[in-house]
Structure 1
Amino acid sequence: MKTARNLANVKLGTYYVVQMPTPDDFDFWRERARALVQCEVPPDRVAWVEPGGSGDLFAHGERRSPVPDPDAKPVRANRRFVSLARNAILHSDPERFALLYRLLWRLQANPRMMEDKADPDVRRVEELDKNVRRDSHKMHAFVRFRLVESEKDGETQEHYVAWFEPDHHIVRANAGFFMRRFSNMQWSILTPRGSLHWDGEIMREGPPAERSDAPQGDPMEDLWRSYYASIFNPARLKIGAMLKEMPKKYWKNMPEAALIPELVAGAQGREAKMVEKGALEFEERPETLAAIDKAIHGCRKCPIGQLDNHAVMGEGPQDAALMIVGEQPGDQEDQVGRPFVGPAGQLLDRHLEKAGIERKAAYVTNAVKHFKYVQRGKRRLHQSPGAKEIDTCRWWIESERAIVQPKLVLAMGASAARGMLGKTVSISKVRGAPIELDDGSELWVTAHPSYLLRLDGAAREEQARLFDADLAAVKERLEELAG
Structure 2
Amino acid sequence: MTEILLAHQVDLATWRRAARHHVFAGTSPEELTWRVQPSALLSQSRPDVQAAFSVSEEEKQEPLRLSRRLVEQLVLAIQAHDPERFTLLYRLVFRVMHEGLDLRTHANDPDVRRLEALAEAVVAETHRFRADFAAYFRHGGRGEWVSHLSNYIVEANASYCLARVAEPWSVQTGYRRMQWDGRALSFGPGSEERLPLLWQRDGEGVWLGYPKTVLPPAEEDIAQATTLDQLGSEAMDCRACALWQPATRTVFGEGPITARVMLVGEQPGDQEDLAGHPFVGPAGQVLDRALQEAGIERPDVYVTNAVKHFRFLWRGTRRLHQKPEQSSVDACRLWLNAERRLIQPVLVVMMGVTAAQSLLKRPVTISRERSRIFPLEGGSHGLVTVHPSYLLRLPNEADKQREYQRFLEDLQQVKRFMEEGRQQPVF
Q: TM-score, normalised by structure 1?
A: 0.41
Q: Name which one, 1 or 2, has greater alpha-carbon Rg.
A: 1
Relative contact order (C-alpha < 8 Å, sep 6+): which is higher?
2
